[in-house]
Each structure stands twice: as structure tokens, then as C-alpha cells.
Structure 1
């Protein structure tokens, strides 16, 4: 038995070809779970997209087969099929079996690509139980097959349904390549089709394919490569037509997209074509940007999603924007050159260091919305860089610098005290509500690892900064035509966010009840509850002083606090952040809740378990509730999302019973309920006083009545405010509380006949 000290050359393992990939797959795809599974698909798609970036491809079809395999087809130039001089192998075999091999290491075939490491296709091949490739070039179709990265020939019992379990004959070393001619196509037809079955021996059982990730990635790519049509076909959903979607071909010399369904709901809208309940496509075909029926025979699937965009990053920002826009979409674009030392291959195949001049194209679109969330997507060529990198750094540095200059130049109008060092605009203030897409296109970008999360090419940062400084500087100062009013709104928002941040920091200093009771900064009109009951504490926001007096006598001061407001508070949907903070009622509510506001809101610091809006059961009371909800939605949204906001439901009528039941009362909450209860009392022979009390407001109740009907947890009724769909809620708030009156009027008129009392809280 060998000891640890016995260590010689016989203990060394030499992994040849793609064996290293199968031994250490994590080095190439990150993980062998769902993330790695999806990464393999990105590698194949990116190779097709690189053909589009080079100007040789305008259609890509991704087909999900019922057996779990995936086909990616493009109408690019096709992988070279001639012999590579150094290895003597066909270009197809070199690309799919040799690591760090391809046309992306030179400068001739590709200038800006996503898959640049030259390991993508070969790695996917190594990690696949089977991979088939077909190439259309020179008027012919060529085919080759692989098993776990090794070339050979499969013998399928049914060629129409290939399987990785079919018999496979491995090609012997130094034997002729297995690339074979299997058909003919027109001379104009070129392209590549790769179908692969990932190896279950490599990927763990938790690896799950994500259809939504695929759709998001495809949509993203269609924005980044304007004019590129990408179709996703899911064959797991039955077809409803007679023709099959199998490849990208030319029919009678004319181009035909493989997905025969040519209706595209994504063109110009950012949304894919989707199927209706009966399987028929409900999207609308644009007047342009689509081929005619003669060019592409129609074929309906239950799920065929197609993407085509022509507006680039501007369309992308429009798609990503949520909430009301503060400005139009601003576009920064241009190019510059830089010097970089790189290793180049000479005629003998040797590497030498050489200083080369690179071109850097920068394309940035941005917009501010009336929200506090930040959305920044960054890309190098078409590769997403979720970790950012030098391109994003240069953009944000220049963006913050130009905003600060503009604020200083307009300090008097914006009411900013430049002498106060604490009022300096920070990057977080600038980024609040910002939606931006930052893209650069460069040759041979330097990423951090094969997964390409962060761009590391240092020379890109000053180029992105210079272009942003020059172009955004003109926009934010209003010196560029048409930007003066927009830049004014943007600066007001950013300054408002600065004040909100400062106010939030001050507010968080008084977050717990004990400290709050000892602090003189709490609103004097707050009638707080006793400390120590945080898990059940309730804050009643009460309309009017008269109701406050009754509520004080009706409440349980152990856990119920009262904060009165005077009538209708500020409509914060129309107001800026600074206007909201300047409003006494809004400021008092935020201060009393004690968890901050906007992006700094911290739900764990909220001083009450329930926030209850207690207003009169009339139109004015409903309006006040809407105004309060708008404040909570805009600046304290987690309260609604976590279910901590409620509306009290006070009664409208009180029925006094007579006879044997004298001294008993029945409360009703609507006119219909009143009529129904009165009819029931008459049928049951129960007497009641005809002088039925109609409450016009909370102040008309005495303390016992208010406690029994509205405040006592044992007998009251509360309506919880829920927000199950934030985007839909945002749209409704914008519609009902925003600046535009005509859409609100149209909404009221169109829904007047669809009244449902059960949907309102009175």
C-alpha cells in the first residue's frame, strides 16, 4: 500500500479534450443546478446573436422539444465546414470539441460579441448526453453528431425522433471527421441548427429549466439588437396547425421565418404574442415590420412567442419603466477609441503582445419615474452584466457630477442651502426612481470569469463618463432644446429625495415608543397608547376634532393610539417629495408611524401593528381614505404589502328596538341592509322605533356606540387593504389620483353601470 510520501509522475492525471469540462463543470458554467443549466442555453443563443451583431443574421428560433432537448437555429453564415489547417478537422468539429477555439480571438470576423471565450459551444457539447448540429452552407446541408463531447454517429430507430439513448458509434482517433453532407438547399440559404440533450449525469436533480428566464432573456436580446427577430416555440403544448416548425429555410428563394405564426405582439410594445383561452392568438399585427402571408406561411401553436424591436435601448427603458414618468426617455450615445495591449496570433500561430486601437460604442437610455425604486440594466455587447462594471461606474460618476452642478446652479429656485454640508446630493438621491439601460460594444471585453457578471476593461470607464458628461450635462441644465421643463422636474425630484433621505434619518432616531414618549418632537395632537404592546398596538387616524373627542373616550388606551387629521390631506400623487414633507399632516403620519418613508422605509421599525383609517361613512370620508392610501402606497408601501393597513367600517344607521327588546340596538351599514333588516323585523313581529338614527359622522356617536361598532376588537368590523398586484395598484392610483383628468372621467363614465356595493368599504 502506497504511503502519502510516495508521490511520483504516475500519480499525475492528464485530462484530454473535453474531459476536463466534465470533471470540473463548475469552472465553466458556474454551477450544475438550474443556473448552470440555463447558462448552457445562453451560450448557444449568444453564438447565434453574435452573428446578428456582425450583421449576418436577422432570425433566431429557439425550440423546446417534448423530450427535454432544445434546438437553437439561426440564419447566419453557418459554422465553417472546411478543414482547419492546424488540426486537419472540419470547422464544425473544431468549434464543438476544442476549448478556446473559434473566430472570436482575431479581429476579422467579429468585432463585438457576447460569446468571446471560445468555450461556450464546446462546453455545452461536453455536458450534453447528445448534441446534433446541422449547417447550411454552399448550397448544401452538413450534419454531425456527438455523445458527451465525442464525435460519432447515432443510429436512431426513428430519425424523426432522435434520442440520446440510441446506439452510438464513436469516431476513432485519427479517423476522418464524421461531418457528412445530408441534403441540398438554395445557394442563398445559410445558417446553423444545434439541438442538444443535457447530460443528467452532470446536472443535479434540482436543476430545473425556467421558461420565464428564457422569455426574459430573449426579450432583452431583442431590445439590444434592433431588427433581430427571435421566436420561441414550445412543442410541449399541442399544435393546432398542419405544418411543422423545424428550421430556418428559404421557400422558393424567399426568406421564411421558421415560426409560421407571424403575428407579433412584441413589436413596439415590448409584449410577446400570447395565446387566448381557445388557443387563438389575441395580439394585433402591426402595419409594418412583418412579412406578408405569402412570405411566411402561417402556423398556429398554443405557445409561440415572438420578439422584434427596432427602438433599441430607448424601447427597453420604456418597457422597464413603472409608475408615472417625470421626464421623457433621454438618450446618450456615441463612440470613442482607446489603446489596449493584447495578445495576437501571428502567421505561425504564436501569441505576441501588441498595442491595438479599440473602438467603444456607448448607448445609454434613461428616465426618472415618480417612484423610489431604481432599475439599472447593463450590458456589454449583448451580455448582461448584473454586477455592473466600468461602463456603469463611468455613467454613474458623470451622472451624479452633472446633477450636483445643476443643483448648485439652481440652488435658489430649488431652495437648497449650499452652506449646509448636510444637504449635499448623494448618488442614492440621483438613482431613486431612475430607470436606465447602459450598453457598450467593444472587441474582446475583459470579464470577471466565464459567467461575465462584471466588465473589467478599465478604458471603458472614462469613455462612458465623457459621453455622459457632455450629453447629459446639456440635458440636465436645460441648455439642450426641449429639455428645460423636463430638467426642472428631474432636479425637483432629486432634491426632494435628498430632503426625504435627511428627514428619514432624523425620523429613525425616534422609532420606538419609549423614546417617542420622552421626545418633544412627536406631534402634540398624538394620543399615544401605553408602551409594551407593540405586537397588538393600533394607530387610528381619525378625521376631525369632534370624532377625536368621542374616540378618546371609546378607545382602550392600553394598545390604541389616536392621531387626528384635519379634513383632506395633500394628494401626494400630484405632489413632489419636498411638497409632501412640507405638509404637516403627511409629515405627522410618517413621523408617528416611525419607520421612515420611500426607499428608506423599514417595516421592522413601525411602531404599530395596525394602521386604521377611521373616517365618516360618506363621500368625503371615502375621499380622505383614498388620499391616505395614496400616501401609504407611495411612501410606506410595505405597510400595505404586509397587510398592516385597515379601514374602519362605521355604521350608517341605528335601529332602536321596542317592546320586550327595548334597550337593544341593531346597526346597519348601507341603505339596502337597512331596508332588509326592517322587513325582517316586521315579519318577525319585533317592534322598533320609526325614528331611525342616521349617522352623518363619527362625532354623532357616543363613546359606547363608537366602541361597540368601530373600535372594540370584539365587536367591530375592519376592512384590510390588500395589494396583490403592485403594478395594477400603481396604475389605479395614477388613474384616480394623478394629474390627468380626462382618463379619470372616462373611467368613471365607463364603470358607472358596473357598480358593486360589496367592492367598496362603506
Structure 2
């Protein structure tokens, strides 16, 4: 062993150090630059190109972006901005466009005069797209000329050439992802549409068109109300406290701030934040500044006009944000994001800027709009009173969070392991399925919690009513990490929380109710990838000693081809309770053979809309949603 180590040291020299030139590093480790090479990474390529066009819009040079999924599987992004510079770069001796497309950390975003504000942090966007594309073609309209160049796997195939006359300006980039990098190169219209709609909301007056030539599907987004329109959009399934969203904007030390918010009669806050058009899902200094300003402004107003009784406590920040729907967007010249994912803004100076601009505006607005001010303050005071009423219920739930088995729900069949990293909880529909799951599980690391019927729809209830629901209390106690503002993910007793329901309409409804509860009151579970959906089979096919399971009708058809010329029987499972413990273990619970879907939040705006529309009070948006998506239904019980 000692001799081997000496040889390793002897052979480890300069020649063992790999130096990856140009874009080779990107092709060698693509996930370092785009997150992964699955569906998310694939679509990230489009967003990188679009972000460059949006940066032109931020500087006031572009007002229209067109994104087209073409019949051959490529994507074309076209804008009417200034166009990438085509002159020769003095240091490199090649055209500026070639430098931008082939060199990492090259581009106008490093020049404060060319791009004061940019969504790109590292300046690697379009060069990374080029590196990971089978081919990429760039066309630049500038100074009445059209310039073209083609690349293959990041390398230029020809020089930049003059291709004719034009009266337009802008950049056109067309590319197809590399099959050597991406196993699935099929672009999804809906994934692109969600992000493009978000960008249109954030950039007032910017027109973004999306077209899919494969099926002639088209969408066009342009919102002259900006983030004010976004707040109205998010609140469309709710009853609002005041008719129009409150909108404010300001600038200090080159930091631009826009805030729009509106209260609704729900019991939850919904804050969505952006920095340079990047969705900062973990918030940051801009969100902290807004929270401080809104708490200070409404507390001052409530105290000044004595809107609470003598013995009542002043509302807390949580009371003030109950029912609040807000969008905070800041443009920062040199943003500092915490972590590689750009999900949390770290610039400390932004906190004070947002706080000052928001508080100054609200102080005047509340005085000038007493009807709106009093309606919101009445909502806040009611929230404070409801908080006190719910205090005892929360304390009861908190007591049940102890790991001591004597305080856990009686229906919970806990696992023997006390290590959360290896434990998982199955939330199962019904006592019958719960019985099979308890018998079929691995008792060492799998816990079972059966539910009796459907839990409460938390979208329409306050916390006091929610904690009065026995099934929800059992879930809260079993998980052990609290609820709402008291939630602490580090106290979670299980690494995975798996929802296992029947594959019918009732099962889908129960899943939706549970996901609504987790999204509204235990959101970090979803954000940290702790929630899963079990996928039990729909069919069991048996022929003598041969047996197979089908998880969809299409899979059933494929399996039956293998059973051709054989006598076989098909069992259609109507519910989990029809499976014996061994079958349930083999198909849905055994880590070696089961299939789980991990629940994630890919788009905060879309998620918010779906839960509000499907589970909220307003009927019209739900009816509209059903009409729009009815053709997508595959299985329905009649």
C-alpha cells in the first residue's frame, strides 16, 4: 500500500493536469453551467439567449422578442435590439460576435456603460448555449447590413459574412441542442411560456411572442401594467380587500425599485421577488427591506388612529402580511447572489434602499387614501385577533411534535429507526390501504399514517380551523416540524414524505388537498424536495406463473403484446386496498422497484395561480381553467 502511494505521488505531475481550452470545459461539465442536462437544463439554453434580449430591453433598445420552436427541433430567438457588435476585437483579432459566442466571461455585461443592469451574473450565457449546441447560427441586423455566422459544437465553421441589406436592427440566434449532451431534446411549449410570461410582466410594455411550428400553437405576452398587472393576475381567484393593487417605484444609488401589492381575504402571504428579472425564490435583502417598511407603515397608521382596543397587542409583522400578495422587483448594477443558483439577493445596501422608498411612499399613500388604508388595517387587526385565538391550537400541535412515541398520533405506525436521513413516511388513503401498507412495509425505516377521508381545504380556512381538523393535526404531529410561521424543517422526522392514494378521482382530490396544505403551510418541504407521490400500478396481468404490472393504459398495451398467444387475466385495481401486502410492497413501496415522483416548484407564479384557482372561493376562474384544460384529461370516472 505504501509503495502504491509513492508511485501515485511520483506519477502526479504537471502532465496530469488537464487544461480545457475555450468551451471544452462547458462540454466536459455542462451541469456546472446549466444545472443539469435534463428537461430543466435543456430549456435553460433558451432562457439564456432570451435573457440577452431582455437586457437590451432593460437598456431601452428593444421592445419585441420572438421565440419560435421550429419543425426540425431547433429554437430561434429574435429581438429588435442593437445587435451584437460585429467589429474586430482588438485583443483577439476576431469579430466581437465570435468572441461573445466562443469565450467564457466575454460580453458587454462586464462594461458598466454598455449594460448598467443585467440578468446575467457571470457573462457566460450565450457562449454556453453555443458550446452545448449541435449547431448554432447567428444573424445580426446592424447598420443596414445582415451579418451571418455558423457554429458547430461551439466552433465557428466560417467567418462572419455580409449577407445582404436590411432596414432593421437586432439579433437572431437559431440553435439545436447537442444530442451528445441532452438525452431528450424535445422543447416543451408550456415550460417556455411560463418563463416568457413572467418576463413580460416584469418588463412593462415588452412584447414577447412564442410560436410552436410543430403544432401552430402561439402565445403573445405584453403587459403595460407591469408588476401591477402581475399582482392582479395572482389575485384573480381571490376576493380582494381593495380594488386596485398599490404600486410604487423609486431609485437610489443606481438601484431601481418597483413594488406592487394587494390584500385579499385569505390567511396567507404571497411574496414573489426578482432581481434583474431573476426570480429570487429564497428572497434576500430586497424582501427584508420591504417587510420592514410595510410593518412600520401600517403599525404607525394603526397606532396614530387608535384602530385597536386598549388591552390588545399591536399586530406583528406576520399579522400585517396575512392575505398580502406582493411582487418586489429590483434592478441592481452589481448584484451579489448567495450560492450558484441566484435564489437569494445578498446586497446589504438594497435592504435600506427598498425600506426607505417603500416607507416614504406608503406614509403618504395611506393618508391620501383613507378608505383603502382602513380596509387593509381592519384586515390586519382581525388577523391579530385570530392569531391569539389560534395560539392554544398551535401549542397543542407543538406538543404533539415530540419524537416520544407516546405523543405521536395513535394511527401512526412508526418505523423503528430514529434517524431522519433513512426514514420515510407514507401518508395513505383509507384504513384498508393503510392496513396493507403496514403489513407490507419494511418496519425498520418506513412509517405509515392512514388518513380517514379527505382533509380540510386549507385554501379557505384560517389556522385556528385548520388545527381543529384531526387529520391535519395527525400529519403535523407525525412530521414533527411545526406549521406555518412556526415551521422548522430541521425538526422533520422523515427524509421522504410520500403521498400514496388510489389512482382515481377521489385519490387525485386527496393528493391535491395534501399538496395545497404542504404548499401553503409547510412550503420548505417542497422547496427542499421532501415530498413525493407514489405511483401504484393500475393493472395486474397474470398468465400461469408469469406476472406483470402496468402503470398506464399505454404500458398495458405494450405488455399484452408480450402475452400474445397466451391465456391471461387482467385485474384493474380500483384502489390500494385491493392489493395484498406483498403486491403493494413490490410495486409501490420497495425502493428497488417502486416509482416515485418528486414534487417541486418549477414556477412560483404558475404554482400560486393553480392553487388559488383550483382550491379558492372564486368560481369563474376555476370554470375557465376546466374549459381550457378539459381536452387534456386522460382518465375520468363516470
User: What TM-score bracket applies, with the shorter chain setting the length?
Assistant: 0.5 to 0.7
**Among residues 53, 60, 68, which one is paired with 2:65 in the alignment?**
60
| 1:263-304 deviation per Cα after TM superposition (whole angstroms, max 9, x unaligned) | xxxxxxxxxxxxxxxxxxxxxxxxxxxxxxxxxxxxxxx411
Query: Equivalent residue of 1:77, what SS?
Result: coil
- Cα distance in 2 for residues equivalent to 1:508 and 1:128: 54
**Could you tell me which residue of structure 2 aligns to residue 150 of structure 1?**
155
Larger Rg: 1
Q: Give the Å deviation of 1:732.
A: 4.6
**Could you tell me which residue of structure 2 aligns to residue 460 of structure 1?**
350
The answer on 1:361 being equivalent to 2:256 is: yes
TM (norm. structure 1) is: 0.53
C-alpha RMSD over aligned residues: 3.5
8 Å Cα contact 1:229-1:308 kept in structure 2: yes
- Cα distance in 2 for residues equivalent to 1:208 and 1:403: 50
**Among residues 310, 322, 331, which one is paired with 2:247 in the alignment?**
331
- Cα distance in 1 for residues equivalent to 2:129 and 2:511: 46
8 Å Cα contact 1:508-1:594 kept in structure 2: no
**Could you tell me which residue of structure 1 aligns to residue 422 of structure 2?**
none
Structure 1 stretches of 4+ with a deviation exceeding 6 A read 531-537, 637-640
Q: Give the Å deviation of 1:324.
A: 0.7
Residues 634-673 of structure 1 mapped to structure 2, 5 A cutoff: 641=513
Query: Equivalent residue of 2:108, what SS?
Result: coil
| 1:312-352 deviation per Cα after TM superposition (whole angstroms, max 9, x unaligned) | 12111111113011123111211111xxxxxxxxxxxxxxx
The answer on 1:479 being equivalent to 2:367 is: yes
Residues 698-737 of structure 1 mapped to structure 2, 5 A cutoff: 727=613, 730-732=616-618
**Among residues 287, 292, 305, which one is paired with 1:397 in the alignment?**
292
- Cα distance in 2 for residues equivalent to 1:315 and 1:215: 17
Query: Equivalent residue of 1:333, what SS?
Result: strand
Relative to structure 1, the CA distance from residue 429 to residue 33 in structure 2 (aligned partners, 3 Å threshold; closer, same or farther) is farther
Relative to structure 1, the CA distance from residue 606 to residue 4 in structure 2 (aligned partners, 3 Å threshold; closer, same or farther) is closer
- Cα distance in 2 for residues equivalent to 1:100 and 1:8: 29
Query: Equivalent residue of 2:347, what SS?
Result: coil
Query: Equivalent residue of 1:107, what SS?
Result: coil
**Could you tell me which residue of structure 2 aligns to residue 317 of structure 1?**
231
Residues 282-293 of structure 1 mapped to structure 2, 5 A cutoff: none
Relative to structure 1, the CA distance from residue 181 to residue 39 in structure 2 (aligned partners, 3 Å threshold; closer, same or farther) is same
Relative to structure 1, the CA distance from residue 496 to residue 364 in structure 2 (aligned partners, 3 Å threshold; closer, same or farther) is same
The answer on 1:180 being equivalent to 2:66 is: no
8 Å Cα contact 2:69-2:187 kept in structure 1: no
**Could you tell me which residue of structure 1 aligns to residue 624 of structure 2?**
none
Query: Equivalent residue of 1:479, what SS?
Result: helix
- Cα distance in 2 for residues equivalent to 1:734 and 1:220: 23
The answer on 1:378 being equivalent to 2:383 is: no
**Could you tell me which residue of structure 2 aligns to residue 104 of structure 1?**
109
What are the ranges of 5 or more consecutive residues in structure 2 without an aligned counterpart? 401-408, 413-428, 432-451, 453-458, 479-508, 516-609, 622-638
Of the structure 1 ranges 307-316 and 450-459, higher mean CA displacement relative to structure 2 is found in: 450-459
Q: Give the Å deviation of 1:96.
A: 0.2
Relative to structure 1, the CA distance from residue 417 to residue 213 in structure 2 (aligned partners, 3 Å threshold; closer, same or farther) is farther
Paired residues in the alignment total 440
- Cα distance in 1 for residues equivalent to 2:384 and 2:363: 20
Residues 583-594 of structure 1 mapped to structure 2, 5 A cutoff: 593=469
Of the structure 1 ranges 96-105 and 30-39, higher mean CA displacement relative to structure 2 is found in: 30-39
Relative to structure 1, the CA distance from residue 446 to residue 207 in structure 2 (aligned partners, 3 Å threshold; closer, same or farther) is farther
**Could you tell me which residue of structure 2 aligns to residue 87 of structure 1?**
92
**Could you tell me which residue of structure 2 aligns to residue 649 of structure 1?**
none
Query: Equivalent residue of 1:379, what SS?
Result: strand
- Cα distance in 2 for residues equivalent to 1:734 and 1:144: 51
The answer on 1:78 being equivalent to 2:60 is: no
The answer on 1:306 being equivalent to 2:220 is: yes
8 Å Cα contact 2:239-2:618 kept in structure 1: no
| 1:484-529 deviation per Cα after TM superposition (whole angstroms, max 9, x unaligned) | 12222212222222232332231244569x9xxxxxxxxxxxxxxx
Query: Equivalent residue of 1:459, what SS?
Result: helix
What are the ranges of 5 or more consecutive residues in structure 1 without an aligned counterpart? 154-177, 238-301, 338-358, 515-530, 538-559, 561-571, 582-586, 596-600, 608-636, 644-723, 736-762
Q: Give the Å deviation of 1:194.
A: 0.5
Relative to structure 1, the CA distance from residue 323 to residue 40 in structure 2 (aligned partners, 3 Å threshold; closer, same or farther) is same
Query: Equivalent residue of 2:107, what SS?
Result: coil
8 Å Cα contact 1:105-1:116 kept in structure 2: no
Residues 528-567 of structure 1 mapped to structure 2, 5 A cutoff: none
| 1:158-195 deviation per Cα after TM superposition (whole angstroms, max 9, x unaligned) | xxxxxxxxxxxxxxxxxxxx111222223xx1111111
- Where relative contact order (Cα < 8 A, 6+ residues apart) is larger, the structure is 2
TM (norm. structure 2) is: 0.63
8 Å Cα contact 1:603-1:638 kept in structure 2: no
Q: Give the Å deviation of 1:605.
A: 5.8
8 Å Cα contact 2:57-2:63 kept in structure 1: yes
**Could you tell me which residue of structure 1 aligns to residue 7 of structure 2?**
3
- Cα distance in 1 for residues equivalent to 2:117 and 2:468: 55
Relative to structure 1, the CA distance from residue 444 to residue 639 in structure 2 (aligned partners, 3 Å threshold; closer, same or farther) is closer
Query: Equivalent residue of 1:462, what SS?
Result: helix
